[in-house]
Amino acid sequence: MSFSCVDVRARVPEYLDGALASAETRTFREHLFSCRECRDQVVSIEPSLLFARVSLEEVSAKDVERVLAGVKAGVALKQAERKLALGRSKRRRRVAAIASAAALAALTLVLPGSARRSDSRRPVRAAARSTAAPAPGFAPAAQTVPAGTFPADATIYDWNPGAGSQEPRVVWIVDRSLDI
| 8 Å CB contact between 32 and 52 | yes
Distance CA 134, CA 156 (A): 13
- The secondary structure element, H or E, covering residue 54 is none
Rounded-to-integer distance, Cα 105 and Cα 157, Å: 14
Count of Cβ atoms closer than 10 Å to residue 11 Cβ: 19
Per rule CB under 8 A, count of chain residues that contact other proteins: 36
Q: How far is CA 72 from CA 39, 61, 65, 86, 170, in A?
A: 43, 16, 10, 21, 52
Q: Is 53 in the site for other proteins (CB under 8 A)?
A: yes
Site for other proteins in 95-124 (CB under 8 A): none
Stretch that binds other proteins, among 67-75, 84-92, 98-106, 162-170 (CB under 8 A): 67-75
- What part of residues 32-51 is at the interface with other proteins (CB under 8 A)? 36-37, 40-41, 43-44, 46-51
The only residue of 5, 63, 98, 153 in contact with other proteins, by rule CB under 8 A? 63
User: What residues numbered 69-88 form the site for other proteins, per CB under 8 A?
Assistant: 70-72, 74-75, 78
Q: Which of 35, 52, 128, 170 binds other proteins (CB under 8 A)?
A: 52
Q: Which of 6, 56, 132, 133 binds other proteins (CB under 8 A)?
A: 56
CA distances from 8 to 23, 36, 45, 141 (A): 13, 12, 13, 95
Write out the residues near other proteins by the rule CB under 8 A.
16, 18, 22, 25-26, 29, 36-37, 40-41, 43-44, 46-57, 59, 63-64, 66-68, 70-72, 74-75, 78
